[in-house]
Amino acid sequence: MNIEINDTQLIDTIVEKVTEQITPLLKQYPNSYDNEILTVVELADYLKVKTSWIYEKVHKKEIPSYKAGKFPRFRRKHIDMWLSNPYHPDLDNYNLKHKERR
């Protein structure tokens, strides 16, 4: 018994089925760039400031950070959010101390 299979049609069908299955999974995970974790040096380079400025902001709790062991780390999406609006409600978990508005 010989069964003839159209390779192109089979590949297209497989690709379509895989795409249907994987698309919802990809949509539920945010952009990995946004979830990137930065060190003090990487953040200083990203913000074009000195590392001492970063350490000062961490010490005063004026920048969203968390500790990985004894080292401060920063989630890029929260830094971007903080830059656009330091009072953004998604940053409340960081218990930031804000300077008085003038």
Rg of the chain over all Cα atoms, to the nearest angstrom: 23
pLDDT of residue 1: 62
Task: List the chain pLDDT tens, one digit each, 102 residues.
Answer: 666 666 788 888 888 888 888 877 766 666 666 679 999 999 999 999 999 999 999 999 999 999 989 999 999 999 999 999 989 888 988 888 876 554
| Angle of the 40-47 helix axis to the 51-59 helix axis, nearest 10 | 110
Angstrom distance (rounded) from CA 69 to CA 101: 33
| Nearest CA among 56, 92, 55 for reference residue 73 | 55
pLDDT of residue 74: 96
The torsion angles phi and psi of 32, rounded to 5 degrees, stand at -65, -25
Global pTM value: 0.65
Cβ–Cβ under 8 Å, residues 40 and 68: no
pLDDT of residue 8: 81
Angstrom distance (rounded) from CA 1 to CA 39: 64
Q: First and final CA of the chain: distance in angstroms?
A: 85
Partners of residue 67 on adjacent β-strands: 72
